[in-house]
Amino acid sequence: WLSEHDLDKNAAQLGSFAVYLWRFGMNMAGQGNSYSTICAFGAVRWYHRYNLGYDPGVNASHALLLRGIRRFTNPVSKQHPLSPKLLRRASTMLDFQQARNMLAWGGMLLAYFFLLRRSEYLFIGRRHHDYILRLGDICSLDNQNQRATPRKATRVGIRLCGAKNNQFGREELRYHQKSGDSVLCPVRAARWILKAAAVFGTHLDQPALSTGQ
C-alpha cells in the first residue's frame, strides 16, 4: 500500500500508522502500544523491500514524529530488586495455617533462590507456559544426594524444561543447599510448596503452585 516513487506520501502514511498504534494500539484491549512496539512497524518497510523489490523509505518529518511519540510515552517504571529484608517482612504478614499462604511463600522463596522468571513458575492470567515448573520437578535430597523427606532434606533440586531463552525445551537441573536460616531457605521453600500441594491434592504433572481450582 506504499508507493514506489512518492517518498513523502509514504512517510505520511507510515506516520499516521504510528500515531494510530500509539493512541489505540493493535490489540483486543484497544490500548496504545509502547514505543518499542510502534518501532516494529519497520516490518512494513521490510515487507516492501523483500517482497516488492523497493524500499518505501522515510524522511526527516517521520523521524521527528517518532521522537515526539517517544517523548510523550510514559517511561517504564523501574522496580526495585527483591531483598531479604522485604522477604522477611512478607513472612510476618502471612498466616501459615492457610494453604494458599504456604504456597505463595514457598513460591516466593523458590523464585528468589533459583532466580526464576515469572513465566517459569507462575500463571499468566489463567494460563501458563508449557515449561512452567511442575510439582514433580521439585525434589528434596539428603547429604548422599538421595531423595529424602522434606524434613530430612539438606538440599533441594528443581528441573526446568524450557524458558523464554530456551524455546527448545532443553532440560536444566538446578540445586541449592540448605541455607541454615530459619526463614529464608530454599529447602524450606520446597517444604512449604509440598505441604500446600498435599492440601490441594496437586498432581505431579500439574504446575507446582497450582491450587487445583
Residue 140 sits at φ, ψ, to 5 deg, of: -100, 130
State residue 125's pLDDT score: 77
Question: Per-residue DSSP letters for 108-171?
Answer: HHHHHHHT--HHHHS-BTTB--TT--BGGGEEEE-TTS-B--TTT-SEEEEEE--BTTBTT---
State residue 177's pLDDT score: 95
Average pLDDT (35-59) is 65
Q: What proportion of the chain, given as a percentage, has pLDDT over 90?
A: 41
| Confidence category of residue 64, pLDDT binned at 50, 70, 90 | low
Question: Per-residue DSSP letters for 33-83?
Answer: PPHHHHHTTHHHHHHIIIIISS-----HHHHHHHHHHHHHSPPPPP-PPP-
Count of residues making up the chain: 213
Q: CA 67, CA 120: separation in Å to the nearest integer?
A: 36
State residue 5's pLDDT score: 63
Position 213 pLDDT exceeds 90? no
> Is the CB of residue 102 less than 8 Å from the CB of residue 198?
no
Residue 105 CA, chain-centre distance (Å), reads 18
Residue 152 CA, chain-centre distance (Å), reads 33
175-192 pLDDT per residue, tens: 999 999 999 999 999 999
Position 139 pLDDT exceeds 70? yes
Position 58 pLDDT exceeds 90? no
State residue 147's pLDDT score: 92
Average pLDDT (122-151) is 88
> Is the CB of residue 116 less than 8 Å from the CB of residue 110?
yes
Q: CA 2, CA 6: separation in Å to the nearest integer?
A: 8
Residue 149 sits at φ, ψ, to 5 deg, of: -70, 150
